[in-house]
Amino acid sequence: MNLQQVKEVIDKADDIFHNCFNWLKHPNSDNKKDNSYLMRFQSELAQGLFDLMQFYQDICRNEKKLIIHKADYKYSWFSNRMSRFKEYKEFLSNAIQIGKSIGDAFAWMFFQTNMDILQKHLLHNDNGLFVSGIGGLGEIEFIKNNPMFDGSFVVYHGITSILRIGDFSLYHPKVGIYATGELKTKDMGNGLIEVNAIITSRIPFSDAFESIDFKWDSDPDRLKRQQKAMDECLQKIIPDRKNELYDAHMYYLFDDVECNKESIMVDNLVCKARISFDRRRPLPQNPDVQV
């Protein structure tokens, strides 16, 4: 593990960041009106962040092994190596923050008319750099295969620093942000992962959703706290209809996308639902740790 490897992984992510940033500058250009990049934007940005985070975790594993065998090395060499690892992590952390800034700009398009919800997100604890391992794989597979749900757009929180409650939100131009979801991923073995989305909504779901009392067999107390936070996040939600230019802009983006939810905002209504699907995908393999 050396500086050249760090540069390579950052350069790869930088190409993705440039593509995402260029789309943000001109989302309404004629060659982008087909919405194909809108549907890929989040999964591509998430993949870039995931790769950076995986390398960051590799460095952390190198550090731990080096510390375990500290007595085998000269102090000067050990100190120099640890300093390099710290520097590499700073490079990667800064790159991740740049990517998440692009994600913040993307999410702002959907949350700027729901400032009450956004303010609740900002009061919540920061979620750190980016999710890694099996959880990260599950979230990327989810957003890649499900950019739309129930006629609504899925806004993925992981690519941002400002959205901190739950893992995604559901947006529709007619009502704004109306639901929040939490993702849970299981390793089913043989490269198969199961991804479950537990959703809290202020609007009735269509028949495409399975309304259930969801139970999770791993750390149920944590899931209860997460669901409570999602419930509180959606309390007193009031769609803002003042910015007609914004509404017209969002309808333009979704012109060729199925976005037909007709439900009306209903007070004191919380719907629970789950979407579950299986994906076969190679799980990340930890490289041999070299110090």
Structural domain includes residue 288: no
Q: Would you state the pLDDT for residue 231?
A: 61
Q: Would you state the pLDDT for residue 37?
A: 80
Structurally, how many domains does the chain consist of?
1
Tell the residue number behind the tokens 């500086």, with chain if given: 3
- Taking the C-alpha atoms of residue 120 and residue 114, their distance in angstroms, rounded to an integer, is 10
Structural domain includes residue 218: yes
- Taking the C-alpha atoms of residue 174 and residue 245, their distance in angstroms, rounded to an integer, is 13
The DSSP-derived string for 115-175 is: HHHHHHHHHSPP--S---HHHHHHHHHHHHH-SEETTEEEEEGGG-SS--SSSEEEEETTT
- In this prediction the pTM is 0.76
Asked whether residue 239 carries a pLDDT value surpassing 50, the answer given is: no
Residue 195 confidence class, pLDDT cut points 50, 70, 90: confident
**Dihedral sign for Cα atoms in the order 101, 103, 106, 109:** negative
Tokens of 279: 């994906």
Q: What is the mean pLDDT of residues 214-220?
A: 56
> Which amino acid is located at 218 in the chain?
S
Q: What is the mean pLDDT of residues 137-153?
A: 84
- Look up the domain containing 108 and give its range: 3-280
